[in-house]
């Protein structure tokens, strides 16, 4: 870089950054609040100043960073940015790495989870892996998937991927030309959902979140809530809906000191 002493860098590299590929709030908070101080024991000449821009602009930049430079992370929505912007409303100083990392939700260890489901229970244990879980039947209102954690924690987010199957419709015979455009892929995301939590697995809360899945990844955020059990229920009755599927299931714990619901 012109003007910089030989062998020095003005700022840390983005490419291959595990922080960029981690929780999406990291990139959002850096863009909104800026970043200063040493990083991994190295001090850089410049700082990352806070950026202005609308929620849509910040989400677009964040998504680009998280899916370029060798990254393959999830997209960032304007709603994500609005949530983080509100959380940071009172903050006046730029982030340091220790402060920023302490402010992020952290994924819980999946090793000791007990996974159950109303349908396809025999494959429920695969939901936290690439193997995945499937309801084995078309989605219907009332289907549920539940996680029992080893002990109560303050949870704030559920995230999972869903399988993509081939489109509906038959195939022509061998060698037959396609009859038209390929059908759209069918993805097993929940057509509607609620999330409930419980400390004992008997008394369940009112839904802490409700919504509709939209694609390969479903991300559900809600106010920090103490729970040992988390249950996702499919709420929609949609004609021709595919089987509901979950893989790479993750539950995130709220940062330490976060006020719980």
Q: For 92-130, what is each residue's pLDDT tens digit?
A: 999 999 999 999 999 999 999 999 999 999 999 999 999
Say what the pLDDT of residue 37 is: 87
Mean pLDDT of 77-84: 95
Q: For 164-210, what is each residue's pLDDT tens digit?
A: 864 443 333 445 555 566 566 789 999 999 999 999 999 999 999 99
Say what the pLDDT of residue 174 is: 47
Whether 250 has a pLDDT exceeding 90, the answer reads yes
Q: pLDDT over 70 for what percent of the chain?
A: 87
Say what the pLDDT of residue 194 is: 98
Cα 38 to Cα 78: distance, rounded to the nearest angstrom: 30
Cα 127 to Cα 230: distance, rounded to the nearest angstrom: 14
Domains of the chain listed by start with CATH number: 18-104 (1.10.760.10), 107-168+175-253 (2.60.120.260)
Q: For 11-35, what is each residue's pLDDT tens digit?
A: 677 777 889 999 999 999 999 999 9
Say what the pLDDT of residue 16 is: 78
Mean pLDDT of 223-240: 94
Which of the four pLDDT bands, split at 50, 70 and 90, describes residue 5? Answer: very low
The position carrying tokens 């302490």 is: 102
């Amino acid at each position: 870089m012109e003007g910089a002493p030989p062998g020095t860098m003005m700022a840390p590299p983005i490419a291959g950054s595990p922080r960029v590929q981690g929780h999406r709030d990291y990139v959002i908070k850096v863009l909104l609040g800026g970043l200063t101080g040493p990083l991994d024991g190295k001090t850089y000449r410049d700082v990352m100043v806070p950026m202005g821009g609308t929620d849509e602009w910040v989400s677009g930049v964040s998504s680009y960073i998280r899916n370029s430079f060798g990254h393959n992370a999830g997209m960032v929505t304007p709603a994500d940015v609005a949530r983080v912007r509100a959380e940071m409303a009172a903050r006046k100083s730029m982030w340091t790495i220790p402060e920023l990392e302490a402010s992020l939700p952290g994924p819980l260890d999946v090793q000791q989870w007990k996974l159950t489901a109303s349908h396809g229970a025999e494959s429920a244990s695969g939901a936290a892996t690439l193997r995945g879980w499937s309801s084995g039947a078309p989605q219907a209102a009332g289907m549920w998937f539940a996680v029992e954690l080893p002990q109560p924690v303050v949870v704030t987010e559920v995230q999972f991927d869903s399988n993509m199957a081939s489109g509906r419709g038959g195939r022509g015979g061998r060698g037959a030309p396609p009859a038209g455009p390929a059908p759209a892929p069918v993805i097993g995301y929940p057509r509607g959902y609620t999330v409930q939590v419980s400390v004992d697995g008997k008394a369940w809360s009112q839904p802490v979140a409700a919504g509709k899945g939209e694609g390969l990844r479903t991300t559900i955020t809600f106010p920090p809530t103490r729970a040992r059990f988390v249950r996702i229920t499919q709420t929609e009755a949609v004609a021709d809906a595919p089987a509901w599927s979950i893989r790479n299931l993750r539950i995130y714990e709220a940062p330490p000191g976060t006020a719980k619901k």
